[in-house]
Chain A
Amino acid sequence: MLLGPALLLSAILFCIGVAGVVIRRNAIVLFMCIELMLNAVNLSFVALATVHGFGGQVMVFFVMTVAAAEAAVGLAIMLAIFRHIRSVDLKNINLLQG
């Protein structure tokens, strides 16, 4: 029975993603950390699908679709920002900072 270890692994991967969002400043690496968090949640969906039926696997399907859409739009926004300020470092994206 791999449900418990799989859920623990999912929690650990999610927290590594959160830690990455906190310690990095490169916006594209932040996107990768968000993908890592989405993958961790997918793992918990798949693990629970072994007990509760295929609804979990269908949810993974939808999460992957949303992640692909998010990556496409997010990277397009990064391209647009890079064209304006020639950087994707978050310390240079401070227009709204007080």
Chain B
Amino acid sequence: MTEIVFYVLGGFAVASALLTISQRNPVPAALWLVSTIFALAGIYVLLHAQFIAAIQVLVYAGAVMVLFLFVIMLLNLGREKGDIRPAPAWGLAAAIAAGIVGALVGLRRITPAALALAGWEGTVKGSPFDVLPGGLAVQSADSLGNVVASLARPLFETYLVPFEITSVLLLAAAVGAVVLAKRRL
């Protein structure tokens, strides 16, 4: 059952993403991107990341995409004839995309067993379970009682300093956006 829902949502996400990049008018493109984001939020729930799914909908679909639509409508775009490049760029795009998918699928060959066979086992120091806090996500979610607590614990313990730096980044982005968008200071 989970697999069926995953493949339905995945197909929906890929179709919406293709429509995002092929729509002539930016407003439907933005709305198809919202649809991709909702499909990804559903996939996050299937992958036991309920809190990430919630902030995906709130932050991406709610805040970022509204900002995009607001700017598109503010600039009154979509009246031009279209911005899709002519055919040679399509071949280049397909070649780059196929190359990247091929390279990423080729990474399947690189497993711990294959690395050990090639004599690389000395370079792998410890298991990933030591590097990243927590064990299997579902198990630690069960042991802590809920998914928010199990996400908050590494966020506010191991990753506390990056979290605080994030707040400075957001302040800088807010000030920078105001300075850039203002007509004159």
Q: Which residues of A contact B (CB under 8 A)?
A: 2, 4-9, 11-20, 22-26, 28-29, 31-33, 35-36, 39, 42-43, 46-47, 49-58, 60-62, 64-73, 75-80, 82-83, 88-90
Q: Interface SS of chain A: helix, strand, loop or mixed?
A: helix
The total of chain B residues at the interface (CB under 8 A) is 89
Residues of B130-149 at the interface with A, using a CB-CB cut-off of 8 Å, are 131-138, 140
Q: Using a Cβ cutoff of 8 Å, how many contacts connect chains A and B?
A: 240
Known: A15-B100, A25-B83, A88-B75. 17 other contacts (CB 8 A): A12-B14, A15-B97, A16-B97, A19-B97, A24-B83, A32-B29, A32-B33, A50-B48, A50-B138, A53-B135, A54-B132, A58-B155, A64-B59, A75-B177, A79-B181, A80-B181, A82-B75
Complex Cα distance A57/B46, Å? 14
Confirm or deny: B114 has a beta carbon within 8 angstroms of a beta carbon on chain A: no
The residue from B26, B100, B132, B150 contacting A52, defined by CB atoms under 8 A apart: B132
Q: Which residues of B contact A (CB under 8 A)?
A: 2-3, 6-7, 10, 13-14, 17-18, 20-21, 26, 29-30, 33, 36-37, 40, 43-44, 46-49, 51-52, 55-56, 59-60, 63-64, 67-68, 71-72, 74-75, 77, 80, 83-85, 89-90, 92-94, 96-98, 100-101, 104-105, 108, 128-129, 131-138, 140, 150-151, 153-155, 158-159, 162-163, 166, 169-170, 172-174, 176-181, 183
